[in-house]
Structure 1
Amino acid sequence: MRLISTKILSPGMQLAHPIYNEKGQVLLNKDVMLTERLVRRLRELNVKYVYIQDQLSQDIEVKETISSSIRLEAVQTIESTFLSLQQENLSEKSFLLDKDSSKFKGIIRTLLSEIKSNPDLLTILSDVYTYDSYIFQHSFNVTLYTLALGMELGLSMEELETLGLGAILHDIGKIMVDEDVLLKPGRLSDHEFEQIKKHANHGFDILRQLHTVPLIVAHCAFQHHERLNGTGYPRGLKGNEMHLYAKIIAVADVFDAVTSNRVYRNAMLPHEGLEILYSGAGTLFDQTIIEAFRRAIAIYPNGMVVKLSDQRVGIVCGQNVGFTERPIVKIIEQSGMKVEQPYEINLKKELSVVIKECQLEYMES
């Protein structure tokens, strides 16, 4: 399968991977043959890329890190719990969340088991969404990235379970923010941004009253927008004033925010999201955590067309654990001409060659 921009989608192309709506439900299933109406509808929904089946990439697989059934169940649990809390007063919110905490602990254990049993690098790009309209999908994605990061950093199982709870509940405070502000497509006013910033305090106030989860979970919600140099909020913490878990969640939170399709901004590709993190390494984010993140996720996922520094064009077909910027590439074009017999090169071994750009609008010559 191959990842392509919806700009070059045409009727007759066949989907290789499902497209989900913002609640994690299948909007279009794999193997669907696209019609003119479906192509137009995908563009209207602002879907920027999809996986298709074609001759160039028929032998390339993109595996799900987490099964769609587990993902759907987790997102629905997050959604139903968060929505049920919206209309309650603060103490009742905490009481009800206390009762439901076992559900979230179960999700974390399931996700840890799934990630551990999957030897491949974590990739969420294969899960294409119309857009993330609220906090449910984001909370799930951040949890996945956070757990992968924690495992890469060598945290114990007990630490990972607590970290996972901090991640899945990091944005719980947003249930107390006006949805019109939360989902505003345009630029926020200063007053609206102040409302958004309060979600960190709201989350802390809800979670610190829970008896069934460690207090550090509340501090994850409180601190995930703090930054190493003190420019974050709500307290302007610096360096080691931030808890390690909050530093980890901060990296996962920003990465998912910039690589997800939102009503106000198009999604970046993984390598672009990583560049955003590196631009703040040592000032905004912990460099050690960013390095661990780079090792844990697929920066150039399988099925992505890339152009190399020697002008050859290929499709990423395999990953090298620990060297995610140097995947295995199936060469399909060189010297501007189609290759009669495509061949693979391993960029971990071909050190003189690097990926220069991604080509989601690549058309076979």
Structure 2
Amino acid sequence: MSATAEQYRKIDIESLSSTGDQKFNLFVKSNDDFVKFAGTEPAHQEKVRKLLKAGELTEDLYIDVLEQEEYYKQITGSLASVASDEALTPHLRAEKIYNVSLSVMKEFFENSSSRKILNSADDIMGAMQTCLEVTNQGFALLAKTMVKNYPAYIHSINVGLYCLSYAGKMKMAQEETKILAIGGLFHDLGLTAISDETLYKKGKLDMDEIQWMRSHTEEGIAIIKDLKHYNEEVVKMAAQHHESFDGKGYPYALASDKISYFSRVCKVADVYESLTSPVVYRKAMKPLDALTIMTRDMKSMFDPKVLRNFITLLT
């Protein structure tokens, strides 16, 4: 990718507003160059709205990476109306919200984008919570919506959604629900510091690679703290999601209730999501097989009450 191309990101035309203004510039690609298609001036915005309403905006559009924060703020800010739009089926609502989350997390994980785009997570998880509540379909709706694959950003989104569903099932308070959902979404942000060669290695990791992989908890702490936007419990989830209830986890070898409750929930969601998704060295397990392993072979790793509650969520 050329230096010029790295400065621009293709966007989903459906994310643009046909009623309001876009607060970022739009570009089209011409050969190897990017040419401004519409600025933020009123006349340009009117042109975009007319084309959108007429269904005549068919060209691929791009934004400058420097305006990504504004772009994601706009598209995630519109998700609340999507979540409660009765003209859309519940599945389509959930799918639209899920796809925005994929876009945000993929951008952060794969392109080392500004950390500020992660602040849009509040709107994403808030919209998904609303969608689950107003459609009254709970986890069954998420199960039909989730993509199962091994890129780290997809895993992170799914863990966040399992945590959100768990909070709903347990009828947690609004603030606790937000903490658990965001913490689940952000638990593996530190993996952005690990090379793809190590992260997706087919063979066994050597000791140096294992130590490097384990460092992702510290990196995750740093990323979330740098955002200066999230509760300390969210930071703990990045730090503690590899701790085990029996004290044999890392990085601090914490045990039992020394591990935060939110981290104990995230641990169960993290392991279940990993087992039921394909990775480079094995196929995805069926849900029942994964739960059998978790309750038989991994039982000591989990808070037993949390594990039981999680199983009721899935059944």
TM-score w.r.t. the length of structure 2 is 0.66
Q: Say which of 93, 109, 124 aligns to 2:126.
A: 109
In structure 2, do the counterparts of structure 1 residues 187 and 245 end up closer, same or farther at CA, with 3 Å as the change threshold? same
SS at match of 1:76: helix
The 2-side partners of 1:106 and 1:275 are apart by 35
Write out aligned runs for 1:269-348 (5 A): 269-279=286-296, 283-297=300-314, 324=315
Identify the residue that residue 80 of structure 1 maps to in structure 2. Answer: 107
> Structure 2: which amino acid aligns with 1:140?
I
Contact 2:98 2:145 in 1 (8 A): no
1:280 deviates by 5.6
The 2-side partners of 1:66 and 1:138 are apart by 20
Q: Say which of 274, 290, 298 aligns to 1:257.
A: 274
In structure 2, do the counterparts of structure 1 residues 280 and 118 end up closer, same or farther at CA, with 3 Å as the change threshold? farther
Identify the residue that residue 201 of structure 1 maps to in structure 2. Answer: 218
Q: Say which of 174, 181, 185 aligns to 2:191.
A: 174
The 2-side partners of 1:65 and 1:271 are apart by 27
> Structure 1: which amino acid aligns with 2:152?
I
Write out aligned runs for 1:230-241 (5 A): 230-241=247-258
Contact 1:140 1:168 in 2 (8 A): yes
Identify the residue that residue 157 of structure 1 maps to in structure 2. Answer: 174
SS at match of 1:229: coil
SS at match of 2:285: coil
Q: Which runs of 4+ in 1 moved over 6 A?
A: none
1:128 deviates by 7.7
Q: How many residues align?
A: 225
Identify the residue that residue 50 of structure 1 maps to in structure 2. Answer: none
Deviations 1:200-232 (A, max 9, x none): 111112222332111221111000000011111
Identify the residue that residue 134 of structure 1 maps to in structure 2. Answer: 151
> Structure 2: which amino acid aligns with 1:216?
E
In structure 2, do the counterparts of structure 1 residues 274 and 66 end up closer, same or farther at CA, with 3 Å as the change threshold? farther
SS at match of 1:235: coil
- Over the matched positions of the two proteins, sequence identity in percent amounts to 25
In structure 2, do the counterparts of structure 1 residues 273 and 73 end up closer, same or farther at CA, with 3 Å as the change threshold? same
> Structure 1: which amino acid aligns with 2:261?
L
The 1-side partners of 2:180 and 2:146 are apart by 26
Contact 1:230 1:238 in 2 (8 A): yes
1:65 deviates by 9.1
The 1-side partners of 2:171 and 2:247 are apart by 27
The 1-side partners of 2:128 and 2:155 are apart by 15
> Structure 2: which amino acid aligns with 1:261?
P
Contact 1:101 1:212 in 2 (8 A): no
Give the number of the structure whose residues are more often helix, by fraction. Answer: 2
Identify the residue that residue 68 of structure 1 maps to in structure 2. Answer: 95
The 2-side partners of 1:101 and 1:267 are apart by 28
Contact 1:133 1:263 in 2 (8 A): yes
Give structure 2 stretches of 5+ with no counterpart. Answer: 1-89
Write out aligned runs for 1:202-241 (5 A): 202-241=219-258
The 2-side partners of 1:165 and 1:70 are apart by 15
The 1-side partners of 2:312 and 2:189 are apart by 29
Give structure 1 stretches of 5+ with no counterpart. Answer: 1-62, 87-95, 298-323, 325-365
In structure 2, do the counterparts of structure 1 residues 263 and 128 end up closer, same or farther at CA, with 3 Å as the change threshold? farther
1:80 deviates by 1.1
